[in-house]
């Protein structure tokens, strides 16, 4: 019997329980090393659920994906270039406001996202109540409450992954509107970006990164052999907003 | 042009709260500070200075983050003192 292997990425702020969830799902079926050329730890593991095989990557915990550090670059590049079948964004239920910053960034990059609100037990202790259904509706992707340490909510998470893999869940990630001047620049850049990358990469997100002057992303894209990107980059740098 | 009527976060003492008004800085460092949660309008608590006085730990949107003076001195706002001296 041959089966496909699906890839899942775990993203999230530092200390939100990604590794706890990773260990819970993979048990001993995991190995660690470094990302090629980086001093950042790479951990990947495997598990099977409902006859499907999964490879899961524990991405470094970051507050952002705007490449301020090697950690952020690793996480960003994995989501953009490796295109995991599902990206799980693990949030700390006791610090939702802060954690949503990264979640919104990921939602700009891919629509194959499950938001996992972890540390629900801590939130409960602190009297924090979270309207999961409302959050899911606002974000436009499934939201699953869990407590990784107490192994609560894991079945629902696995079922949600399975449904997403089978195409049974249609997501519609929230689109963050920017100021008028930035939206105008995005509108001008979009056709060019789409012409060059097609459906390969999230065009709006790339346009935004170009307007922000994200040179690290440009370098990464060039390495992926998109030399024609220079053209778009030149265009963008002439119109780049000083600070987005 | 640096704002003058506001205090710098770097001037706030441990135990004090501080309401952020603006970040007087551009580029990567601004981006980083925003991503760490130092956003205009939000309130920060100064936790403690390290033995050498730098960096300083802050409580910002429910998480502890340490900043160096080069960073905290670009954050302007209002010091909120609980005890009326
Ligand atoms: N109370 C509670 N604690 C949890 C839960 N999940 C994880 N923790 C704890 O939170 C701490 C951080 O967990 P990790 O799994 O290391 O977090 P991480 O996201 O991998 O952290 P980084 O790798 O630093 O980004 C550990 O002490 C865990 O035991 C949970 O559901 N409830
Ligand atoms: Mg970890």
pLDDT at A36 (0 to 100): 86
Asked whether residue B67 is domain-assigned, the answer is yes
Determine the pLDDT at residue B2.
55
**Domain membership of residue A187 as a residue range:** 180-242
CA of A21 to the centre of ligand 1 (A): 8
Residues of B with CB under 8 A from a CB of A: 26-28, 30-32, 35-37, 60-63
Determine the pLDDT at residue A216.
82
**Measured distance CA(A217)–CA(A194) in Å, rounded:** 16
Residues A28 and A111 in one domain: yes
Same domain, A98 and A138: yes
Structurally, chain A folds into a number of domains equal to 2
**pLDDT above 50 (res A33):** yes
Q: What are phi and psi of A126, to 5 degrees?
A: -85, 5
| A64–B35 CB contact, under 8 Å | yes
Residue ending a domain, choose from A110, A134, A165: A165
Q: What is the pLDDT of residue A233?
A: 63
Q: How far is CA B53 from CA B47, B48, B56, B63, B77, in A?
A: 12, 9, 7, 20, 21
Quick check: A52 and A67 in contact, CB under 8 A?
Answer: no
B48 within a domain of the structure (yes/no): yes
* Model confidence at A243: pLDDT above 50: no
Instruction: Please list the residues that pair with B80 across neighbouring strands.
Output: B17
Taking residues A34-40, report their average pLDDT: 86
Residue B35, token pair as written in the block: 């991503």
Where a domain ends, among A140, A165, A190? A165
Instruction: Give the number of the ligand closest to the Cα of residue A23.
Output: 1
Distance of CA B31 to the CA centre of its chain: 15
Give the pLDDT mean for A195-201.
Answer: 86
Residue A63 above 80 pLDDT? yes
pLDDT of residue A229: 56
- Residue A244 is predicted with a pLDDT of 41
Query: What is the domain extent for residue B14?
Result: 7-80
Q: What are the 10-residue block averages of pLDDT along chain B, 85 residues in total? A: 78 95 91 93 95 92 93 95 59
pLDDT tens-digit readout, A136-181: 999 999 999 999 999 999 999 999 999 999 999 999 999 999 999 9
Residue B55 lies in a domain: yes
- Check residue A151 and report its DSSP letter: T
Residue A212 has pLDDT above 70, yes or no: yes
pLDDT(A210) > 70: yes
Q: What is the pTM of this model?
A: 0.89
- The domain total for chain B is 1
Q: Looking at per-residue confidence, does A194 or A244 come out higher?
A: A194
A46 C-alpha to center of ligand 2: Å? 16
Per-residue pLDDT at A225: 58
The verdict on A161 and A185 lying in the same domain is: no
The tokens for A13 are 């702020």
A118: domain CATH number is 3.40.50.300
Clarify whether residues A104 and A77 are in a common domain: yes
* pLDDT reported for residue B5: 84
Residues of B in contact with A64 (CB under 8 A): 31-32, 35
Burial class (CB in 10 A: 0-12, 13-18, 19+), A86: buried
Same domain for A29 and A92, yes or no, is yes
- Regarding beta strands B63-67 and A52-58, do their DSSP bridges make them parallel or antiparallel, or are they unpaired? unpaired
Residue of A nearest to B28 (CA): A68
């Amino acid at each position: 019997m041959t089966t496909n292997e699906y890839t899942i990425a775990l993203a999230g702020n530092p200390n939100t329980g990604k590794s706890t969830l990773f260990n819970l799902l993979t048990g001993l079926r995991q190995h660690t090393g470094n990302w090629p050329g980086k001093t950042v730890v790479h951990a990947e593991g495997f598990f099977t659920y409902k006859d499907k095989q999964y490879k899961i990557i524990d991405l470094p915990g970051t507050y952002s994906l705007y490449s301020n550090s090697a950690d952020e670059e690793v996480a960003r590049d994995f989501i953009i270039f490796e295109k995991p079948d599902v990206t799980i964004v693990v949030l700390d239920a006791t610090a939702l406001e802060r954690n949503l910053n990264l979640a919104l960034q990921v939602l700009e990059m891919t629509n194959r996202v499950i938001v996992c609100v972890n540390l629900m037990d801590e939130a409960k202790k602190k009297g924090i109540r979270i309207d999961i259904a409302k959050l899911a509706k606002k974000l436009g992707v499934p939201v699953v409450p869990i407590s990784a340490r107490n192994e609560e909510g894991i079945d629902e998470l696995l079922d949600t992954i399975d449904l997403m893999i089978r195409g049974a869940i249609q997501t519609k990630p929230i689109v963050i509107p920017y100021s008028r001047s930035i939206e105008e620049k995005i509108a001008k850049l979009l056709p060019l970006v789409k012409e060059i990358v097609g459906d390969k990469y999230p065009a709006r997100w790339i346009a935004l990164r170009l307007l922000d002057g994200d040179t690290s992303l440009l370098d990464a894209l060039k390495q992926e052999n998109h030399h024609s990107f220079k053209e778009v980059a030149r265009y963008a740098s002439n119109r780049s907003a000083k600070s987005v | 042009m640096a704002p003058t009527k506001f205090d710098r976060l770097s001037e706030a003492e441990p135990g004090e709260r501080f309401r952020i008004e603006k970040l007087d800085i551009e580029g990567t460092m601004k981006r980083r500070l925003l991503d760490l949660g130092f956003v205009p309008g939000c309130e920060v608590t100064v936790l403690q200075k390290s033995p050498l006085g730098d960096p300083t730990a802050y409580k910002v949107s429910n998480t502890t983050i340490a900043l160096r003076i080069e960073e905290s001195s670009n954050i302007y706002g209002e010091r909120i003192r609980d005890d009326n001296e």
